Amino acid sequence: MADETSDSPSTGETARDDQRNDSPDPSRRKFLIRGISAIGGGIAAGIGVPAVVFVTGSARTATAEDAWIRLGSASSVEAGAPPTLMKAKIERRSGYLIEEQEVSVFVTTQNGADFTVLSNVCTHLGCRVRWVEDQDGFFCPCHNAIFDRNGDVVQGPPPRPLDRFEAKVEDGQIFFKEA
């Protein structure tokens, strides 16, 4: 029996432990745990919030492909005339990187109301095409490819016609949407 009493804490010690745990003032250990937890949470938030914004930032903003790009006045393109090369500057955004690019397209119209916007980039290797009046078509200097007025392949290795873009006219200005 003597062993049983020596292993068990005395009633006086248990009462003191209860008083320490029930006291309204935090002990040193609790204070340090709470302080370290607060500092760790602050560091995690300081690193985590910018990381989440960086990863999801580009997904939350509208892309350049969603926007209509203004080319210029509809009166600058004559009905039935050779295609007109028009240029526009656009901003492309990739995460926090903003890049300004110049886009060139050919614009044609047969009636002055409906406009066709064609890419000036060959679908074979990405060379720039140009309009050649004598051939009544677009010519790619890289492999002697020829496209007709509508952008269809007439001669050469390109696998498909020139890219067409959706076009509209508002307030006398031509707009197109990149695909």
> 107 and 25: one domain?
no
Does residue 50 share a domain with residue 72?
A: no
- Judge whether 147 and 137 are in contact, CB under 8 Å: yes
Average pLDDT over residues 18-43: 79
State how far the Cα of 102 lies from the Cα of 80, in Å rounded to an integer.
Answer: 26
Q: How far apart are CA 51 and CA 57, in angstroms?
A: 10
Instruction: State whether residue 37 is helix, strand or coil.
Output: helix
The vertex-30 CA angle with 17 and 9, nearest 5°, equals 20
Q: What is the mean pLDDT of residues 112-118?
A: 86
Same domain, 54 and 120: no
Same domain for 93 and 15: no
3-state secondary structure 75-116: HHCCCCCCCEEEEEEEEEEECCEEEEEEEEEEEEECCCCCEE
Q: Which residue has the higher pLDDT, 114 or 95?
A: 114
pLDDT tier for residue 64 given thresholds of 50, 70 and 90: very low
Mean pLDDT (whole number) for 150-165: 90
Range(s) of the domain holding residue 29: 2-60
56 and 109 part of one domain: no
- pLDDT score for 178: 78
Answer with the one of 60, 81, 109 that is the final residue of a domain: 60
Do 92 and 44 sit in the same domain of this protein? no
Whether 116 and 153 map to the same domain: the answer is: yes
30 shares its domain with 68 = no
Match 């009493």 to its residue by tokens. 5
CATH number of 89's domain? 2.102.10.10
151 with 105, same domain: the answer is: yes
Same domain for 72 and 98?
Answer: yes
- Cβ 85 vs Cβ 117: under 8 Å: no
In this prediction, residues 32-60 reach a mean pLDDT of: 86
Of the listed ranges 19-23, 25-29, 120-124, 162-166, the least confidently predicted one is 19-23
Q: Does 21 score more than 80 pLDDT?
A: no
What's the whole-number average pLDDT of the chain?
Answer: 81
Select from 60, 87, 104 the last residue of a domain: 60
**pLDDT, position 43:** 95
User: Domain count of the chain?
Assistant: 2
- Residue-wise over 135-171: b if at least 16 C-beta within 10 A, else e? eebbbbeeeebbbebebebeeeebeebbeebebeeee
Inter-CA distances, 131 with 11, 67, 165, Å? 102, 27, 18
Average pLDDT, integer, range 65-87: 84
Same domain as 151, residue 75: yes
The pLDDT of residue 79 is above 90: no
Query: Pick from 11, 44, 60: which residue ends a domain?
Result: 60
Sign of CA dihedral 21, 26, 27, 33: positive
Q: Do 86 and 164 fall within a single domain?
A: yes
Q: Residue 151 is which amino acid?
A: G
